[in-house]
Amino acid sequence: MPSTTSSTSLVPAATYPAIVGRVLADFRENQSEKMSQADLAEAAGLKQAAWSKIERGQTALNVEQLAQVAKTLGVQPWEIVRAADDVAKHAAKKGVKVEPTRIDPMAAGAVLISAAALGALVGVGLATWRARRAQDPQDASDSEG
């Protein structure tokens, strides 16, 4: 009798746009003067609803928007990308497949992790990024001026 179980196993996955979005949300929420989504949306030239989609990873932001948002957050654009890279590396170490673009999870043999799980990964991944930044303050100023 043929087996009814599938040999395909699903792996937990996250998308890079979702990681970047969650990193941006973390940066926004951890400012000394807390910013709203509407504040960053305005900086990026978007409506709050569109910015919300960026933070949820449903839409990617472009380079111009990244530059404007970074300026508003008081960081360099590369710091946002580097922080997202640190989170992606941490996620991969935890067995989460990081896809470069939005995906059809079932077609990719993956199941997207929840926003809460992604938030936890971002928290730990950003701790790595913040520690590196604290150890090398020159690192943040190299791209200024």
pLDDT digits (tens, 9 = 90+) for 12-36: 778 888 899 999 999 998 887 888 9
Q: Would residue 70 count as lying in a domain? A: yes
pLDDT digits (tens, 9 = 90+) for 64-97: 999 999 999 999 999 999 999 988 888 888 888 8
- Specify the CATH number for the domain of residue 62: 1.10.260.40
Q: Give me the domain span that covers residue 92.
A: 11-139
- Helix (H), strand (E) counts: the chain: 7, 3
Q: Can you read off the two tokens belonging to residue 123? A: 């928290």
Q: Would residue 132 count as lying in a domain? A: yes
> At 145, is the pLDDT very low, low, confident or very high (cuts 50, 70, 90)?
very low
Q: Can you read off the two tokens belonging to residue 41? A: 């949306």
Q: Would residue 46 count as lying in a domain? A: yes
DSSP lists the bridge partners of residue 111 as 12
- How far, in Å, CA of 88 to CA of 97, rounded? 9
Q: Would residue 144 count as lying in a domain? A: no
The values of phi and psi at residue 110, to 5°, are -135, 160
Q: Would residue 6 count as lying in a domain? A: no
Region 37-66: what's the mean pLDDT?
A: 92
Q: What is the pTM of this model?
A: 0.70
Q: Would residue 2 count as lying in a domain? A: no
Number of domains the chain is built from:
1
- How far, in Å, CA of 11 to CA of 112, rounded? 8
